[in-house]
């Protein structure tokens, strides 16, 4: 198993009788398939108790306790007290659920489902644990109850998500994650794949919901955590990422929500996304963009980028290792790489000696910083430079990007683009699709400088 693939199954029902004959083998197969952590989820009091027992006896298994809407009619004050007891009995209980509404089967009267759901949200808030929400054909009522009960106070996950794009975004606004099961692998499920495509990777989780919902390859047979990989692979394909990327991202998300998993959050100097290697050499920047993700969170695609100090040339080389493994090496990170022009030149020269393709992502103000035209110095060292233009005029640029040079910053960016063509084979001006930004005008501004233009998505880095 690739050590970079460590998956967390955030929703399994391992207590089910269907596993009585071979539960230990199922758990072993999961580990062998790279599923390093499993959250086993209760549906009623009995299965919640069984989930907690399993979690207590297996280090990498955790439990959620709750009452499924199918069983809502069995819940009363006593059951709720028993759930609360279970929660305090073990720190392996990391969530309350599954709970929610199921109007597809309507096994319990809807009013009773509502009550049971509301009571469990209150319980989760009392014990300060996130929710695992089941929603089948009840999207509007689920959202209404989550809002009315202020579920945002603890957050949680919409498991086996089956709503549309608008619903997914409404849940994310409430601080919820969206979890995808193997139904995303079913050939006719384009709608679900469209939802996955539309949401930022920061909000994604994966699950099996085993023994139900086997991936396409095993459809109709019993599901198990080892098959989680098929969902991860499909999600990677949909998001244009590698399996290792999806593994790292969804494991970090599971850690953030449930506190489970072994997460390496040490600062990265070099970090891989897809088949590119990115270099994070400084956190300093000439700009202070209003939309910069680092002001909220220093991770990019699961990599932690907040440096304790700026790395030396030797440290950057050591972090790169063998660069021939990558299609390209990109100076990027949460800072302006050309502030460290000397290091960029030295590392780029070393990379070029080894036949690597080298790119720099920059805000294009290096000539103001260094008080000289640095572009001739990059001649022969850099194959591509990608410059954030982000506006069609200086005032708009300053509004969004807040250059320390004021509106002069924008003038410098355009001049940088114009001058870059003589020294760097590929020069691209980019603009983030900020709300209200006139993309056509940005493209025209890039045209004036004679370089290519590329629009980038808002809120999706790396």
Q: Which residues bind Zn ion (CB under 5 A)?
A: 98, 134, 209
Distance CA 193, CA 116 (A): 31
Q: What is the DSSP letter of 310?
A: P
134 binds, among Zn ion, ligand SF4, none (CB under 5 to 8 A by kind): Zn ion
Among 292, 369, 439, 441, binds ligand SF4 (CB under 6 A): 292
DSSP string, 187-234: TT-HHHHHHHHHS-GGGEEE---BTS---GGGTTSPP-GGGHHHHHHH
Q: Which is nearer to Zn ion, 55 or 293 (CB)?
A: 55
Q: In the complex, what is the shortest distance from the CB of residue 289 to ligand SF4, in angstroms, rounded to a whole number?
A: 3
The answer to whether residue 363 forms part of the interface with ligand SF4 (CB under 6 A) is: yes
Among 289, 329, 347, 445, binds ligand SF4 (CB under 6 A): 289
Residues 321 to 360 in contact with ligand SF4, rule: CB under 6 A? 334-336
Are 429 and 441 in contact, with CB atoms under 8 Å apart?
no
Q: In the complex, what is the shortest distance from the CB of residue 24 to Zn ion, in angstroms, rounded to a whole number?
A: 21
Q: Which is nearer to ligand SF4, 271 or 334 (CB)?
A: 334
The answer to whether residue 230 forms part of the interface with ligand SF4 (CB under 6 A) is: no
334 binds, among ligand SF4, Zn ion, none (CB under 5 to 8 A by kind): ligand SF4
The answer to whether residue 38 forms part of the interface with ligand SF4 (CB under 6 A) is: no
Q: In the complex, what is the shortest distance from the CB of residue 69 to ligand SF4, in angstroms, rounded to a whole number?
A: 44
Q: Which is nearer to Zn ion, 195 or 412 (CB)?
A: 195
Distance CA 305, CA 333 (A): 7
Q: Which is nearer to ligand SF4, 158 or 389 (CB)?
A: 389
Tell me, by CB under 6 A, how many residues bind ligand SF4: 11
Q: Which is nearer to Zn ion, 67 or 244 (CB)?
A: 67
Q: Which is nearer to Zn ion, 134 or 423 (CB)?
A: 134
The string over 224-239, giving b where at least 16 C-beta atoms fall within 10 Å of a residue's C-beta and e elsewhere, is bbbbbbbbbbbbbbbb
In the complex, residue closest to Zn ion by CB: 134
364 binds, among Zn ion, ligand SF4, none (CB under 5 to 8 A by kind): none
Closest by CA position to 63, among listed 3, 12, 109, 101: 12
285 binds, among ligand SF4, Zn ion, none (CB under 5 to 8 A by kind): ligand SF4
Question: HEC states along 381-434?
Answer: CCCEEEEECCCCCHHHHHHHHCCCCCCHHHHHHHHHHHHHCCCCCEEEEEEECC
Q: In the complex, what is the shortest distance from the CB of residue 409 to ligand SF4, in angstroms, rounded to a whole number?
A: 10
Tokens 């008080």 found at: 371
Distance CA 123, CA 154 (A): 11
Q: In the complex, what is the shortest distance from the CB of residue 306 to ligand SF4, in angstroms, rounded to a whole number?
A: 12
Are 135 and 158 in contact, with CB atoms under 8 Å apart?
yes
Q: In the complex, what is the shortest distance from the CB of residue 361 to ligand SF4, in angstroms, rounded to a whole number?
A: 8
The answer to whether residue 287 forms part of the interface with ligand SF4 (CB under 6 A) is: yes
Spell out the residues 6+ positions from residue 25 whose beta carbon is closer than 8 angstroms to its own.
none
Phi-psi region of 259 (alpha: psi -120 to 50; beta: other; left: phi over 0): left
Are 239 and 232 in contact, with CB atoms under 8 Å apart?
no
Q: In the complex, what is the shortest distance from the CB of residue 286 to ligand SF4, in angstroms, rounded to a whole number?
A: 7
DSSP string, 131-172: EEEEEES-HHHHHHHHHHTTGGGT-EEE-S--S-HHHHHHHH
288 binds, among ligand SF4, Zn ion, none (CB under 5 to 8 A by kind): ligand SF4
Number of C-beta neighbours around residue 441 at 10 A: 14
Q: In the complex, what is the shortest distance from the CB of residue 98 to Zn ion, in angstroms, rounded to a whole number?
A: 5
The answer to whether residue 288 forms part of the interface with ligand SF4 (CB under 6 A) is: yes
Q: In the complex, what is the shortest distance from the CB of residue 41 to Zn ion, in angstroms, rounded to a whole number?
A: 5
The answer to whether residue 409 forms part of the interface with ligand SF4 (CB under 6 A) is: no
For the beta sheet containing 276-279, the strands, ordered from the edge strand earlier in sequence to the opposite edge, are 270-273, 276-279, 328-331, 358-362, 384-388, 426-432, 452-456
Q: Which is nearer to ligand SF4, 95 or 385 (CB)?
A: 385
Are 69 and 93 in contact, with CB atoms under 8 Å apart?
no
Q: In the complex, what is the shortest distance from the CB of residue 335 to ligand SF4, in angstroms, rounded to a whole number?
A: 6
Q: E strand or H helix at 348, and its extent?
A: helix 341-353
Q: Which is nearer to Zn ion, 103 or 350 (CB)?
A: 103
Q: What is the DSSP letter of 451?
A: -
Binding site residues, ligand SF4, CB under 6 A: 285, 287-289, 292, 294, 334-336, 363, 388
């Amino acid at each position: 198993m690739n050590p970079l693939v460590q998956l967390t199954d955030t929703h399994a029902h391992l207590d089910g009788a269907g596993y009585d004959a071979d539960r230990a083998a199922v758990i072993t197969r999961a580990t062998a398939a790279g599923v390093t952590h499993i959250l086993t989820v209760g549906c009623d009091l009995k299965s919640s108790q069984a989930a907690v027992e399993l979690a207590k006896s297996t280090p990498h298994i955790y439990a959620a306790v709750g009452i499924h809407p199918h069983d809502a009619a069995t819940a009363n004050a006593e059951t709720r007290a028993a759930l609360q007891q279970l929660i305090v009995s073990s720190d392996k209980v990391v969530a309350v659920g599954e709970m929610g509404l199921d109007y597809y089967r309507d096994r319990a009267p809807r009013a009773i489902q509502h009550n049971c759901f509301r009571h469990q949200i209150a319980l989760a808030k009392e014990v300060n644990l996130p929710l695992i929400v089941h929603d089948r054909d009840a999207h509007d009522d689920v959202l209404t109850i989550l809002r009315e009960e202020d579920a945002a106070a603890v957050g949680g996950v919409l498991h086996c998500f089956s709503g549309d794009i608008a619903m997914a975004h409404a849940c994310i606004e409430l601080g919820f994650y969206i979890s995808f099961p193997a139904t995303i692998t079913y050939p006719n499920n384009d709608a679900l794949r469209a939802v996955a495509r539309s949401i930022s990777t920061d909000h994604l989780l994966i699950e099996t919901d085993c023994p139900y919902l086997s991936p396409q390859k095993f459809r109709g047979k019993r599901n198990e955590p080892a098959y989680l990989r098929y969902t991860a692979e499909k999600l990677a394909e949909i998001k244009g990422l590698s399996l290792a990327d999806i593994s790292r991202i969804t494991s970090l998300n599971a850690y953030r929500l449930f506190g489970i998993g072994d997460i390496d959050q040490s600062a990265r100097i070099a970090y891989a996304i897809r088949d590119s290697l990115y270099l994070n050499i400084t956190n300093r920047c000439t700009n202070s963009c209003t939309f910069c993700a680092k002001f909220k969170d220093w991770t990019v695609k699961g990599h932690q980028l907040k440096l304790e100090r700026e790395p030396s040339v030797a440290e950057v080389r050591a972090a790169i290792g063998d660069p021939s493994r990558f299609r390209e090496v990109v100076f990027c990170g949460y800072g302006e790489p050309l502030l460290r022009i000397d290091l960029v030149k030295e590392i780029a020269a070393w990379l070029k000696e080894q036949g690597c393709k080298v790119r720099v992502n920059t805000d294009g103000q290096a000539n103001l910083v260094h008080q000289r035209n640095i572009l001739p110095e990059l001649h022969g060292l850099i194959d591509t430079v990608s410059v954030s233009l982000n506006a069609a005029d200086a005032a708009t640029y300053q509004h969004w990007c807040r250059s320390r040079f004021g509106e002069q910053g924008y003038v410098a960016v355009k001049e940088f683009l114009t001058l870059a063509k003589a020294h760097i084979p590929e020069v691209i001006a980019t603009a983030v699709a900020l709300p209200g930004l006139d993309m056509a005008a940005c493209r025209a501004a890039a045209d004036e400088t004679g370089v290519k233009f590329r629009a980038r998505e808002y809120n999706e880095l790396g």
